[in-house]
A and B are shown apart, each in its own frame.
Chain A
Amino acid sequence: MMKNIYAWLDERLGFDDMYKMLLDRPEPHGNWWNTLGSASLFLFIMQGVTGIFLTVYYAPTPDHAYDSIQYIMNDVAFGWLIRGMHHWGASLMVFVVFIHMLRTFFSASYKYPRELTWMVGSVLFLLTLGMGFTGYLLPFNQRAYWATVVATNIGGVVPGIGPFILRALRGGTDVSALTLSRFFSAHIWMLPAALAGLIGLHLYLIMRHGESAYPDQDD
């Protein structure tokens, strides 16, 4: 029975090819620093999982955001754990992605033929910071509110178009319900979609060119 199902799936999916393509790839000798890329991916997935479950109870409106998070933290079983992991996962992810970038720089892995991998990767780093920025407002507490007021004000100092940028970020002149819902939308839909797509491209490029080898004296 199981054999039949396996055979049927194999005929259509081609497990062998998949195994060769995804898993059985040759790589140069690496070290523990090479694990940071997959660690970033792992943290992205963890953030995705915990984030998805947070939206079960979180309500992105000024009237309810704070109370719903208090509810998650104090009343829902393991709510503190899911929120805590999401909170700390954000910091950890920024940190790991940053170190991953430094590793790539110091091992000069961004050079031919991996230029595009680096460019996509640095956009991924910026998107990660964007996730941190938009996620900071969502608890809608004192710290979140005032930090967002200040941070969006920074966008407003650009000469000429500053006031427009400010209104575009906030969805109006004040940090309000509109700001909260557009940050929420960016945090759970736009940025993650962009991240997921670019992570796919990043991984494809890594598979295409292989993991880089550490340079030696001749390189």
Chain B
Amino acid sequence: MASSHRISRRDFVKAVTATLSGVMGIAMGIPIISYLIDPALNVQSSEAWIPLGPLDGYPIGTPTAFSFTRSNINGWEKTVNSYGGFILRKSESESDILALSNRCTHLSCSVNWNEEREEYVCPCHDAQFDIEGEVNAGPPPHALDHFETKVEEGTLSVKFPAVLAHEG
């Protein structure tokens, strides 16, 4: 029976058991892994121009806060995120506008414009940015992000999302 050329019944059964278990493991494993990581592969890019109303509503020389919301579909739910920033008109010119994001570049707290100190101040870790968004003091790694702007028929729009200060 147990000649060296023929595999024994026990070995055959072992091989079949291992193969079938392996096939089932793979047949379940691959779908399950892609099932689990699926939402991570789903990147939504949504560039958009956000209208912020008439340009005349923004005074020259002082930062004026603005805010807007964007919605994302996450799974079966719409998630609405709120974004905000400051518009600074440096002169009458339609191209001389600076739109800063209010997200602190340190850990994303919202910065506020402090009228007396003429600085943006972050309430979390006391970071300070000057009127152009450059870092004055505190832990942030770089200047505040800014939005691209355009003016059409007197209406100011910013381009979402905000970009790094020195890239745009």
Contacts and interface: CB of A to CB of B under 8 A. Distances in A.
| Direct interface between A and B, CB < 8 A | yes
Interface in B9-47: 28, 31-32, 34-36, 38-39
A77 B76 contact: no
B76 A81 contact: no
B141 interface: no
Nearest to A82: B35
A151 interface: no
B75 interface: yes
A57 B76 CA distance: 10
Interface residues on A, range: 10 to 19
Given A56-B36, A77-B35, A82-B35, A49 B75 contact: no
B31 A82 contact: yes
Nearest to A79: B35
A49 B28 contact: yes
A67 B78 CA distance: 12
Given A53-B36, A56-B36, A77-B38, A68 B75 contact: yes
Given A57-B75, A67-B76, A71-B75, A82 B38 contact: no
Contacts of A67: 76-77
3 residue pairs, one from A and one from B, having the closest CB atoms:
A78-B31, A67-B76, A77-B34
Contacts of B38: 75-77, 79
Interface residues on B, range: 10 to 19
Contacts of B75: 57, 68, 71, 75
A70 B73 CA distance: 14
Contacts, number: 36
A205 B13 CA distance: 26
B76 A78 contact: no
18 contacts: A49-B32, A53-B35, A56-B36, A57-B75, A67-B76, A68-B76, A75-B38, A75-B75, A76-B35, A76-B39, A77-B38, A78-B31, A78-B34, A78-B35, A79-B35, A79-B38, A81-B31, A82-B31
Contacts of A75: 38, 75
B53 to A, nearest CB: 35
Nearest to A66: B76
Question: Most B CB atoms within 10 A — which of A49, A56, A75, A78?
Answer: A78
A68 B39 CA distance: 13
Contacts of A209: none
A117 B9 CA distance: 32
Interface string A57-90: 1000000100110110001111101100000000
A25 to B, nearest CB: 15
Contact of A82 (B32, B39, B76): B32
B39 to A, nearest CB: 8
Contacts of B28: 49
Interface in A66-122: 67-68, 70-71, 75-79, 81-82
A71 B73 CA distance: 11
B120 to A, nearest CB: 39
Nearest to B37: A77
